[in-house]
Amino acid sequence: MPRNANIKKVMVIGSGPIVIGQAAEFDYAGSQACRALREEGVEVVLINSNPATIMTDVDTADRVYIEPMDAAHIEAIIAREKPDGILPTLGGQTGLNLAVEIWEAGIPQKYGINLLGTTFESIKQAEDRELFKKTMQAIDMPIPASTIATSMEESLEFADKLGFPLIIRPAYTLGGSGGGIAYNFGEFRHIVSTGIIASRTSQILIEECVVGWKEVEYEVMRDAADNCITVCNMENLDAMGVHTGDSMVVAPSLTLTDREYQMLRSASLAIIRKLKICGGCNVQFALSPKDLRYYVIEVNPRVSRSSALASKATGYPIARAAAKIALGLNLDEITNAVTGKTKASFEPALDYVVVKIPRWPFDKFHDANKTLGTQMKATGEVMSIDRTFKGAFLKALSALEVKLVSFRTQHFAHFLDEDLRSFLSVPTDGRIFAIFEALYRGWDPYDLSKLTYIDPFFINHFNELIGEEILARSIYADRDDEAQMSLFNNKVSTESEEEQEPELTRAHLNHWKRLGLTDCMIGGMISKSEDEVNNLRMNQDVPIQAVYKEVDTCAAEFEASSPYYYATFEKTGDLKAIESANGLNRRVLVLGGGAIRIGQGIEFDYCITHALMALTKMGYEAVIVNNNPETVSTDFDLSDALFFEPLTTESVLDIIAQIKPLGVVAQFGGQTSINLAIPLWQHGVNILGTTAGSIEVTEDRKLFDALMGELGILRPIGITTTDYDAAPELGNELKYPVLVRPSFVLGGRAMEIIYSSEGMRNYILRNRYAFRNHPLLIDQYHPGIELEIDLVSDGETVIIPGVMEHIERAGVHSGDSMAVYPPQSVSQSFIDRIVEMSTAIARRINARGMINIQFVLSAGKLYVLEVNPRASRTVPFISKVTGLPLIPMAMHAVMGGRLAELPGIEAGLYPPQDLVAVKAPVFSFSKMQEVDVGLGPEMKSTGEVMGIARDYPTALAKAMAAAGIPIPENVEGLGVLITLADTDKDDGLSVARRLAFLGTKVYATEGTARILNEAGIPAEAVKKLHEGRPHIADHVESGAFKLVVNTISDNKAAEVDGLKIRRSAVEHNIPVITSLDTARALLSVLEGRRSRKPGTTITAINDVPVRWQEMSFAR
């Protein structure tokens, strides 16, 4: 059917902030779909509270609303924009849930508009556990024995009947949050109670658990004419029991016979037909490893993380096709954009193997429970492509920035056999390395397979790799250096007696590279450095180097025009010849950001994407290397060439050797890409923009201190020591409070603010064992207002779009604090000083491109905390609210242009816009058990939202609402628990007083309550955990508190209680505020409510005045 001409304006619901279970994949899907809709001449209205996305760019949709994603705001937008339909299947579970909510509230019906593509009924059938069960039974689809429960009693009854293990899944949640596997009644009670709370409908599904079965997924498409295809299937390496988002995945399936493959494929088609989904859908199966039995586990009637992976794995743009189907087009009417010849009604054929490995945040959340189960814990993932499973798997490990020199890792080499065995029996993030160790010890692969439920096919592949290492070590480890060199020396005369030897070793090297071993790993095997191995293979008569093959959706059956490549060590590649006959090389390689992780989120993909678009506009050939399948930057039509490869020196150098770019852009992909600048530069690569030398100045403590001294800029004084016992005294010298941390990465642990020498002694006592003789860094800590800027510089002209003021004081990681633009409490003289200092720094280091600088204003003095010679996480936010697209400007400078040449550009600080925007962090604490939710110097948030309004309180209110801190209309009688650290008692009084004045019911522990009462503030005392019952946690459980204000002290004993209170609150969905600044911000919102009538205001970002228009400035 041709597209429905009545649809002229479509509302797209985004997925909101990045949280565990819902990451950048929805920006990828959403922005691809928006482009596809506009291709068809449809006007797109978007709601998404997440400013750090391409989706919320004014270029992506016609009307962009960065507003809280709730019914009230959606209704206000519908009323204003009057769309012809709503597309609910692009915004992940958040978008889908919101669509269900507004439909049930009758909002779209009120305005006479429909859901496009998949209908409300279809969504309900897939999402509502009871309906889903009935629907599956109606088409004879096997599903695990299960029951729906809404209470503990019902749940226990079922468990009695069926026995253990059992899986508990809450309805309508993302990433399986609140669910889990229970092996006994104790675990069962716990998971059931959290699950009921997590579900939007207080519904949980309890089902038979087929731990150990294979988990296989199919991505299916269907159009209104009932044509169906499967885009791809995927097999989880980790069997049933590990959430698919936490599982290593291979595509296509490798251990399924055609009969098994087709059985599940046919089932997928039957399911999507029965559900009448129009668009994309994901079906998850459990497949018995012993017979042809299978179960349908889950159906997601929307684009998903898996569909993003499937799109990148096959080259088939699922979201694009889904959007066109929603407009009424059929699959055979949609062109396959990759081949340009075939239609969307076909199934991709792969001639390579794809491996996905998740990226977990355990480096930041050291105390988290690392066991993998039904609740997803990964923040992101990497994908890799090669011609073999081994190659793709090893490449994925490198893409995770894991640098192996041996399959035997230090950590596991020390395990006793029995400890290794028990470690292997539980899925964790580190289990793969334990498998390597076991194989290294010669354990039977089949035995390991039984222990881990990982198919022997994969274990055998790992075993072969380990066999290679052991063999290589046995051949090469004993030889001395010279003997080895002569072996590799290709120039050895063929007349020599050792004629066979050089051949043999070249063959070895060739063989290892084909297997996918990195230079670093080979170096480890033959006692050489990574660079030496690289030289050995590249300095041969015929170099052993990577070639690049195309991802073309059709296994080379048709000629494709997709410049989407992966490396492999075969002889022939698909790269088009380098056209530089006229000597005019305009090829630029942009380094991506890799997996989404805490501290390096979607913001960087925003920057990379804009860098690519800017290069294209400037007339350059934009080439990207990245390995994150969830991203916009790896979309097939965003660059002139896409290399899906690890971001390592080796991989990037290999690409450079083939495509010979004029330079490399390293400043947009976060720490991952900037970390490559110096090593690449040392290999003679031209780093475009700020030079590697300048980057080094900002990163080296000594050089940086010298620079600040020279410019007369204050920065917190720091000391480095290895004499831990002297630390308390050194703290005195610097004057407490101080910020202390070990000088090496310790998985994010042990960075703390210490207020006294006693606190320092405690700190040393607690952490001494972990320091392992590494130096300790102690810095002055200046409590005060933190301020931040992103600037664009060409070394001379410096442009500052605006200043952001952090709401939480310095000490809370800048990524975890709320920030407001423009500043609300800083006088102009300090703003002027910030501009002065920033300009001086940028000029002094001859910065070309983006710089991020963080300041603290403490006791009337401005200090520079950090200078980051790269784009930062605030770039998308500040670009959007100031109306200044920073990345295109920065690219102009990076490519050597003068900013003064840009028409309409102004140097210095732009005057503030007539609006207030607040950025608020979003956390995923409910997904990570045992993690402390308290804010501190280590970043913990996974995403962010924005509130925009004419005035500060409204912007704040919106930001908080969007971040999930509910702002009740009426606070009269609302229970608030206040527990304060000693250092906060004075400040806390005023907060408590204001809360009480608003009419809330304040609860506090006995000590605090007494202080409050003495100050004339009504507060009810509650018992601490060890003071008998009911204690604080009981009150949390009973729902007495609707808000918890709990500030954190450096007294760890008091903290044990604090931690428990915070965790318990998080698990009961009660907002926890751990900084008095956040509490004050909330108070100003609540107090503002009393004087103004609450109402819903909305602002389209498209209406923010644009102050500089990016244009084609081809040269």
Partner 1 sequence: MQNAIIALADGLVLSGKLIGSPGTIGGELVFNTSMTGYQETLTDPSYAGEIITFTFPLIGNYGWTERDDQSRSIYANGIVVSSLSDAKDNWMAVKSLSDRLAEEDKRGIEGVDTRVITQRLRSAGAMNCIITSELTESEAVAAAQDWPDLSVQDLVGSVTCKEAYDWDEPLEDGIEHPEPRLKIAAFDYGIKFGILRAMRDRGMIARVFPANARAEDVRAWKPDGIFLSNGPGDPKTCIDYLRDTILDLGSNIPMMGICLGHQLIGLSFGLDTYKLKFGHRGANHPVKDLENGRVHITSQNHGYAVNAPPDDHDLVLTHVNVNDGSVEGFRHRELPLFSVQYHPEGCPGPLDSLYLFDVFAKMMAGS
Residue 379 CA: distances (Å) to CA of 158, 180, 364, 595: 34, 18, 11, 8
**162 touches partner 1 (CB under 8 A):** no
Show the tokens assigned to 370: 């690392």
Residues whose CB falls within 8 Å of the CB of residue 110, separated by 6 or more in sequence, listed in order:
none
Q: What is the spatial distance between Cα 276 and Cα 232, in angstroms, rounded to a whole number?
A: 20
Q: What is the spatial distance between Cα 10 and Cα 27, in angstroms, rounded to a whole number?
A: 17
CB closer to partner 1, 509 vs 1065: 509
**411 touches partner 1 (CB under 8 A):** no
Write down the least CB distance from residue 544 to partner 1, Å: 15
Can you say whether residue 253 is alpha, beta or left, with left for phi > 0 and alpha for psi between -120 and 50 degrees? beta
Write down the least CB distance from residue 14 to partner 1, Å: 31
| DSSP helix/strand/coil, 787 | strand
Contact with partner 1 (CB under 8 A) among 39, 104, 121, 226: 226
CB closer to partner 1, 310 vs 688: 310
**407 touches partner 1 (CB under 8 A):** no
Does residue 32 contact residue 320 with C-beta atoms inside 8 Å? Answer: yes
Q: For partner 1, which stretch binds (CB under 8 A), given 382-390, 580-588, 774-782, 805-813? A: 382-390
Q: For partner 1, which stretch binds (CB under 8 A), given 222-230, 644-652, 884-892, 981-989? A: 222-230
CB closer to partner 1, 158 vs 566: 566
Can you say whether residue 61 is alpha, beta or left, with left for phi > 0 and alpha for psi between -120 and 50 degrees? beta
CB closer to partner 1, 13 vs 515: 515
**580 touches partner 1 (CB under 8 A):** no
What is the residue whose two structure tokens read 């428990």?
A: 1060
**345 touches partner 1 (CB under 8 A):** yes
Q: For partner 1, which stretch binds (CB under 8 A), given 571-579, 748-756, 861-869, 1082-1090? A: 571-579
Q: What is the spatial distance between Cα 920 and Cα 901, in angstroms, rounded to a whole number?
A: 36
Q: What is the spatial distance between Cα 572 and Cα 773, in angstroms, rounded to a whole number?
A: 50
**658 touches partner 1 (CB under 8 A):** no
Show the tokens assigned to 997: 């004045």
Contact with partner 1 (CB under 8 A) among 457, 736, 771, 1113: 457
Through-space distance between the first and last CA atoms of the chain, rounded to whole angstroms: 45
Q: What are phi and psi of 792, to 5 degrees?
A: -115, 135
| DSSP helix/strand/coil, 586 | coil
- Continuous segment of H or E residues that includes residue 789: strand 785-793
Does residue 50 contact residue 66 with C-beta atoms inside 8 Å? Answer: yes
Can you say whether residue 250 is alpha, beta or left, with left for phi > 0 and alpha for psi between -120 and 50 degrees? beta
Q: For partner 1, which stretch binds (CB under 8 A), given 335-343, 372-380, 519-527, 995-1003? A: 335-343
Which parts of 378-499 fold into alpha helices (H)? 389-399, 410-413, 417-424, 431-440, 445-452, 456-476, 481-488
CB closer to partner 1, 574 vs 1037: 574
CB closer to partner 1, 552 vs 752: 552
| DSSP helix/strand/coil, 186 | helix
CB closer to partner 1, 241 vs 252: 252
Contact with partner 1 (CB under 8 A) among 351, 710, 723, 972: 351
Q: What is the spatial distance between Cα 844 and Cα 698, in angstroms, rounded to a whole number?
A: 11
**393 touches partner 1 (CB under 8 A):** no
CB closer to partner 1, 64 vs 220: 220
Total H helices, total E strands in the chain: 37, 41
Does residue 607 contact residue 849 with C-beta atoms inside 8 Å? Answer: no
Q: Which residue(s) pair with 868 in the sheet?
A: 852
DSSP letter (8 states) at residue 418 = H
CB closer to partner 1, 226 vs 723: 226
**765 touches partner 1 (CB under 8 A):** no
Write down the least CB distance from residue 331 to partner 1, Å: 6
Q: Cβ–Cβ contacts within 10 Å for residue 895, how many?
A: 23
CB closer to partner 1, 269 vs 1070: 269
Show the tokens assigned to 279: 């668009």
**389 touches partner 1 (CB under 8 A):** yes
**114 touches partner 1 (CB under 8 A):** no
The side-by-side arrangement of strands in the sheet containing 294-300 is 294-300, 279-287, 214-222, 228-236, 249-251, 353-359, 380-386
Does residue 838 contact residue 800 with C-beta atoms inside 8 Å? Answer: yes
Write down the least CB distance from residue 238 to partner 1, Å: 17
According to DSSP, the β-strands at 279-287 and 249-251 are unpaired
CB closer to partner 1, 137 vs 732: 137
Q: What is the spatial distance between Cα 693 and Cα 447, in angstroms, rounded to a whole number?
A: 53
How many residues bind partner 1, per CB under 8 A?
A: 57
Write down the least CB distance from residue 258 to partner 1, Å: 4
CB closer to partner 1, 250 vs 378: 250
**548 touches partner 1 (CB under 8 A):** no
CB closer to partner 1, 234 vs 1100: 234
One symbol per residue from 781 to 800: x for binding partner 1 (CB under 8 A), - otherwise; what is it?
A: --------------------
Write down the least CB distance from residue 823 to partner 1, Å: 57
**455 touches partner 1 (CB under 8 A):** yes
Q: Kindly identify the residues of this chain, within the stretch 242-271, that bind partner 1 according to CB under 8 A.
A: 252-262, 265-266, 269
**225 touches partner 1 (CB under 8 A):** yes
Q: What is the spatial distance between Cα 226 and Cα 276, in angstroms, rounded to a whole number?
A: 8
Q: For partner 1, which stretch binds (CB under 8 A), given 344-352, 862-870, 910-918, 1064-1072? A: 344-352
CB closer to partner 1, 516 vs 802: 516
**1081 touches partner 1 (CB under 8 A):** no
Longest Cα–Cα distance of the chain, Å, equals 100
Cβ-in-10-Å burial (0-12, 13-18, 19+) of 157 comes to middle
Write down the least CB distance from residue 581 to partner 1, Å: 24
CB closer to partner 1, 262 vs 580: 262
**4 touches partner 1 (CB under 8 A):** no
Q: For partner 1, which stretch binds (CB under 8 A), given 385-393, 585-593, 748-756, 944-952? A: 385-393
Write down the least CB distance from residue 617 to partner 1, Å: 34
Q: Cβ–Cβ contacts within 10 Å for residue 626, how many?
A: 29
CB closer to partner 1, 549 vs 994: 549
Cα atoms in the Cβ-side hemisphere of radius 13 Å centred on 38: 17
Reduced 3-state DSSP string for 419-451: HHHHHHCCCECCHHHHHHHHHHCCCCHHHHHHH
**447 touches partner 1 (CB under 8 A):** no
Question: Cis peptide before 348, with omega less than 30 degrees from 0?
Answer: no
Write down the least CB distance from residue 1046 to partner 1, Å: 53
Contact with partner 1 (CB under 8 A) among 234, 327, 331, 525: 331
- Continuous segment of H or E residues that includes residue 1005: strand 1001-1005
Show the tokens assigned to 832: 């002027």
Write down the least CB distance from residue 558 to partner 1, Å: 7
One symbol per residue from 551 to 570: x for binding partner 1 (CB under 8 A), - otherwise; what is it?
A: ---xxxxxx----------x
**154 touches partner 1 (CB under 8 A):** no
One symbol per residue from 492 to 531: x for binding partner 1 (CB under 8 A), - otherwise; what is it?
A: ----------------------------------------
**353 touches partner 1 (CB under 8 A):** yes
What is the binding site for partner 1 (CB under 8 A)? Answer: 225-230, 252-262, 265-266, 269, 289-292, 330-332, 341-343, 345-353, 387-389, 455-457, 460, 549, 554-559, 570-572, 574
